Structure 1
Amino acid sequence: MDLGLKGRTALVLGAGGGLGGAIALTLAREGARLALADLDATALAKAAAAVKAAGGEALELVWDLADLAAIEHHVAAIEARFGGVDILINNTGGPPPTPAAGQDPALWQKHFQGMVVSVIALTDRVLPGMRARGWGRIITSTSSGVVAPIPNLAVSNALRLSLVGWSKTLAGEVARDGVTANIVLPGRIATDRIRFLDEQRAKREGKSVAEVSAASTASIPVGRYGEPQEYANVVAFLASTAASYVNGSVIRVDGGLIASI
């Protein structure tokens, strides 16, 4: 299937990570031009190299999302190189594992800035161009915790859920301009983040990482963790011209992990 992405410009946040890197590479293979953002310059360079090896164009942006003042500078650089952003992949890093009670307000403020305010501010910066051109895709990656809160991930559960409400509201405002806004949430996808969370759980519970991983796998109907490419395939479809009637949705890529309807 031709996804209709040839010549489109995509900005992928968290492009140095497992999910972001897979998304960037998949979009590049479909002909999109990539602006790659990440705080980790080494991981960013690796992602850019993969995109270029696949025949794509990549602009590397070492970007601290919590720095709202940097948004204008980076978006202007993208516009100078490729033109306006057509596809925005809002994919941020996750906060540390914590219970809900007793957290320092400064922790909540820090991650609200980096995970929520930054996403909203960046979207507001690129959205006028999308609306003027009559085409755009805003895809925000969250977590299965927005449907079924994950124990000891209180900050993530709460802050990512706020993005779901924001995205759904935005979807109703921009659809008539040819722009869609959707949420994609991963289940247990085999990334460094999931390995880290498994390690932290193993320490808390006095178990081996293998035991924790086996217990998690047992709860997934397909019987395994997902691959980043499987997640990226869904995101690429939502970014495509073929997905023009998918708007305001929350799409699960979890192998059936979440038990609720």
Structure 2
Amino acid sequence: MPEPEVWRDLFETSFIGPLEILKTAIAHMQPDPQVGRRSKIVIVSGISSAQVLSHYATANVIRTAWVGQAKTLAFALGARGIHVNTLSLGGTLSPWYRAGIAKRAESKGMTFDEGILAETDNVPLGKYGTPEEVANAIETLLGPFSDHITGTNLMHDGGFTRAY
């Protein structure tokens, strides 16, 4: 378990600080639902950001905090025409994630492709997402498809999460 100082620092930099920025952005939004003009927020959150936050426990807490905050904001802002959703990412083949897979595969005497296959054997779709797929999901949550969606956490994980 991380020390209390680690918790405080991570919570400040990964939740409180970004929430202040979000509050400032919301104050400048000018939706008008009567004429079909909406404002939309997508909070991108990992299923587990342990690689970024260095502790699995803190990653889970921060992710859950964002999902809960998005639901709270959806209720508070919906009548104003502001939609708030989260996108929870599973493995996504960003350049740094690809490099990590390559390094792990090499250390096991495997090719990159063999490493991907081994790492995704428990993902129903058998693959990690691509940055382009993440961008498409965000575009969907910002576009007309989501005009009746708010407070939702979209799992972008190839079916990995086994909760409903």
TM-score, normalisation: structure 2 = 0.79
Note if contact 1:116-1:160 (Cα within 8 Å) is conserved in structure 2. no
Do the aligned partners of residues 175 and 197 (structure 1) sit closer, same or farther apart at CA in structure 2, a change above 3 Å counting?
A: farther
Equivalence for 2:31? 133
* Cα distance change of structure 1 residues 140 and 232 upon mapping to structure 2, 3 Å threshold: same
Root-mean-square deviation (CA), in Å? 2.5
Residue 104 of structure 1: CA displacement? 2.7
Does residue 255 (structure 1) correspond to residue 154 (structure 2)? The answer is no
Note closer, same or farther for the CA distance 1:168–1:127 as it changes in structure 2 (3 Å cut): same
Counterparts of 1:17-32 in structure 2, within 5 Å, are none
Distance 1:110 1:192 in 2: 26
Q: Could you say which residue in structure 2 is the equivalent of 1:235? A: 138
Deviation at 1:242, TM superposition (A): 3.2
Aligned residue identity for 1:133: P
Answer yes or no: is 1:120 the counterpart of 2:19.
yes
Q: Tell me, which stretches of 5 or more residues in structure 1 are unaligned?
A: 1-100, 147-151
The answer to whether residue 148 in structure 2 is matched with residue 245 in structure 1 is yes
Change (3 A) 1:192 1:154: farther
Equivalent position SS for 2:154: strand
One-letter identity of the residue aligned with 1:125: T
- For residues 231 and 122 of structure 1, the distance between their equivalents in structure 2, rounded to whole angstroms, comes to 22
Shift of 1:193: 4.2
**Measured at CA, do residues 223 and 175 of structure 1 come closer, stay the same or move farther in structure 2, by a change above 3 Å?**
same
Instruction: Give yes or no for contact 1:187–1:255 (8 Å, CA) kept in 2.
Output: yes
Percent identity over the alignment?
A: 23
Runs of 4+ in 1 over 6 A off after TM superposition: none
- Higher relative contact order, chain-length normalized (CA < 8 Å, sep 6+): 2
Q: What is the CA–CA distance in structure 1 between the aligned matches of 2:8 and 2:95, rounded to whole Å?
A: 25
Partner of 1:105: 4
Does the 8 Å CA contact 2:47/2:63 hold for their aligned counterparts?
Answer: no
| Counterpart in the other structure of 2:119 | 216
Structure 2 Cα separation of the partners of residues 199 and 110 of structure 1: 31
Distance in 2 (CA, whole Å) between partners of 1:208 and 1:258 is: 29
Query: Which residue number corresponds to residue 158 of structure 1?
Result: 61
2:109 & 2:59 partners in 1: Cα distance? 24
